[in-house]
Amino acid sequence: MRCPYCKEDDSKVIDSRAAEEGTTIRRRRECVSCGRRFTTYEVVEKLPLMVVKQDGRREVFKRDKILNGIIRSCDKRDISIERITALVNDIERDIRNTMDQEVPSAKIGELIMNRLKDFDEVAYIRFASVYRKFADISSFLEELKVLQAHKDEEEKKQDE
């Protein structure tokens, strides 16, 4: 690391510690040449994640869209914002861990729905009704059957 004072290339790290909730590393350095100290910050470079919409358009991934959609799904439910935020964090981590720079919006929607099944059934149905664009009562009933089958499967796993 180049010294900001004398411009020499050689410096040594005196102290390192996490900063900004572990997303950054703060390093105290000392120039080997002039002996002056300075601080550097090391941050993981995040490449922009693009969402490919159904019509082929691309837009930058916005975590707030997921958060707002789930908050609306959980409206008037006894679910804390901390739990909702933790769910959104998990969903975002799963999306980013695919290592793809472009993710189809349909994949994101399905991931959210799968997470909501176990999170809250009413929130799941509310989200599904908007996401799946139910045209009539029969498509709504089909989704309820899927949810009930998932619930029965989960209960069966717990009994084993």
Q: What pLDDT sits at residue 107?
A: 93
Enter the DSSP assignment of 22: T
CA-wise closest residue to 150 among 126, 127, 116: 116
List the chain domain ranges.
11-43, 50-149
Tokens of 151: 């619930």
pLDDT value of residue 55? 94
Q: Angle CA(96)–CA(102)–CA(103) in degrees, nearest 5?
A: 70
Give the model's pLDDT for residue 136.
76
Three-state SS for 39-100 is EEEEECCCCCCEEECCCCCEEECCHHHHHHHHHHHCCCCCCCHHHHHHHHHHHHHHHHCCCC
**Max Cα separation, the chain?**
77
Report the interhelical angle of 63-73 vs 121-131 (nearest 10°).
120
Provide the pLDDT for residue 149.
Answer: 87
Residues 142, 160: Cα–Cα separation, whole Å: 27
The confidence score (pLDDT) of residue 23 equals 75
Give me 39's structure tokens.
């601080």
pLDDT digits (tens, 9 = 90+) for 65-100: 999 999 999 999 999 999 999 999 999 989 988 878
Say how many C-beta atoms besides its own lie within 10 A of residue 81's C-beta: 10
Q: In the prediction, which pLDDT does 160 show?
A: 75
Q: Which stretches of the chain drop beneath a pLDDT of 50?
A: none
